[in-house]
Each structure stands twice: as structure tokens, then as C-alpha cells.
Amino acid sequence: AEYEKRLSRFCKFDVIELSEGPVVRCDADIQKTLRVEGEKILSAIRSDDRVAALCIGGKSYSSEDFARYVGRVRDEGRGRLVFVVGSSHGLCDEVIRRADDRISMSAMTFPHQLARVMLEEQIYRAFTILGGQTYHK
């Protein structure tokens, strides 16, 4: 909530939380759960959205490089910039294919709730970097 409040100075920022499927263990059930989650995610994305999927194999950014990325996307003026954080099973292939960009937050694995807070902080940090503020140091 703190980063969402801080971000309101820089942009319209919304969090859309979709229900996660059940935690399952067998591969067939995981794939089914990912498909159901993927359908929900894709239904929340508009055709003109710029979609960045947080996923394994995505591009790693320093905070400064991420700020430049956010700035470029902002300046393009295309729809919303939508960051997609997957569930504990990750993201389905359809969501990853729909993504315009793929971003890796780290080579380490984090719970998706923590990834969301870390992402919000990095978005806020990006705007402070773009604005020449000293928060990011």
C-alpha cells in the first residue's frame, strides 16, 4: 500500500489481483491450473496494453536500466504498461507469448506476493530515477 500511494504522484497505478488456482503437484494438474490462470490473466489484458511478464528466462535489469525501460514505454504513449506476476506455478505459455517483454527480477525464486512488493518498489524507484530524485541511492 505504501508504494501504491507513493506511485500515485507519478502515474495511475492499479493492482489487479486474480485468484490463484489450487496448489497441485502432478504435472498434468499444474498445466491445467496454469491454463485456467492464464485465461483469467489474458481476459484482464487489453489489446493495446504493453505487457511485461515476470518470468524465468526474462531479461535482467539494473535499477537504472529498468528506469530507462519504464521511461521508454511511458514515452511511447501506448496503452497501459501491465506487469504480470504469476502464481506459485509461474505463467502459462500463452501469457508469456502475449507478453511484449519478459523480465527476470533475479535468478533466485521468490514467492509471488514478495515479487509483487519488490516490483512495486522498483517501479517507484524507476520513477524517482527518471525524476532525478535521490531515493534510489
Q: Write the DSSP assignment of 32-79 as a string of letters.
A: HHHHHHHHHHHHH--TT-EEEEEEEEEEE--HHHHHHHHHHHHHHT-S
pLDDT score at 97 = 97
pLDDT score at 77 = 87
pLDDT score at 26 = 86
Residue 37 DSSP one-character state: H
pLDDT score at 6 = 95
**Quick one: average pLDDT of 82-94?**
92
pLDDT band of residue 22 (cuts 50, 70, 90) is confident
Whether this model's pTM surpasses 0.75: yes
pLDDT band of residue 19 (cuts 50, 70, 90) is confident
pLDDT score at 137 = 64
26: how many CB neighbours lie within 10 A of its CB?
8
- Phi and psi at residue 102, to the nearest 5°: -125, 130
Largest CA distance in the chain: 49
Q: What distance lies between CA 93 and its chain's CA centroid? A: 16
Is the pLDDT at 2 greater than 80? The verdict is yes
Q: What is the pLDDT of residues 26-79, one digit of tens each?
A: 888 899 999 999 999 999 999 999 999 999 889 999 999 999 999 999 999 888
**Residue matched to cell numbers 524517482:** 128
